[in-house]
Amino acid sequence: MSYRSELGAEITEERLTAYFQEKGISENSSVGERERSAFREMQKEAFEEQDPEIREFMWATLCFYCDEASMLFTYIYENRWAEAVAEQRHRKAECKPKDLSVDLEDLMSRCCDASGYTKHHEGPRKLLTVPGYHDGTQEIRNDVRSVPGDLLRRSFYKFGSHKFHVGSAIHEILSHIECRYGLDFEQLERNRAASCSKENN
């Protein structure tokens, strides 16, 4: 059996077998059975999670620990799992509305031209570098809406050896506007969605 998440994270039986081999654990031993049980509990929670961004985080985290040689599934499940998921929910709650942030990032990306030759917004998108959960970075040019909100906030553009942290810049700008004019972009986005829904019905 294997499971592939929305963004492609996957754990196969072969990957689990390699996990046990690397740990020097017999799958049929009592320790192996407890490891399987802990893995299945985390997998079950990921399957049942309703929030797609949190679900992807859970699965990416589980993939990371499957390859992490220093920790066992039982230890992770009993000591790290619930706390990590709770922290991720908190980070997501702190993010500004994702659709609004994505639209602003799209505008900014088309205004980035390190060469200085293009002075309008019709140019190609700047490549966005998105930090991974645990396993490095991913570079995205077009499918930014698939990026979880907390990772979008940590994303950046590369300009040679320099970085422009566009995700945090958008967050700070929206926060400043909210504070200055007494706005709530979350509520404004909900109002907008409700209005669009009524128009389409």
Looking at the fold, whether 87 and 143 belong to one and the same domain comes out as no
The parent domain of residue 7 ranges over 3-93
Looking at the fold, whether 126 and 189 belong to one and the same domain comes out as yes
**Residues above pLDDT 90, as percent of the chain:** 21
Q: 48, 56, 68: which is closest to 76 by C-alpha? A: 68
Looking at the fold, whether 38 and 128 belong to one and the same domain comes out as no
Domain boundary among 49, 73, 93: 93
Looking at the fold, whether 85 and 147 belong to one and the same domain comes out as no
pLDDT of residue 173: 93
* More reliable by pLDDT, 84 or 118: 84
Looking at the fold, whether 89 and 102 belong to one and the same domain comes out as no
Looking at the fold, whether 102 and 24 belong to one and the same domain comes out as no
Task: Give tens-digit pLDDT for 38-86.
Answer: 999 998 998 899 888 788 888 888 888 887 767 899 999 999 999 999 9
Q: 53, 78, 52: which is closest to 65 by C-alpha? A: 78
The total number of structural domains that make up the chain: 2
Contacts of 171 (CB under 8 A, 6+ apart): 95, 96, 101, 153
DSSP-assigned beta bridge partners for residue 156: 129
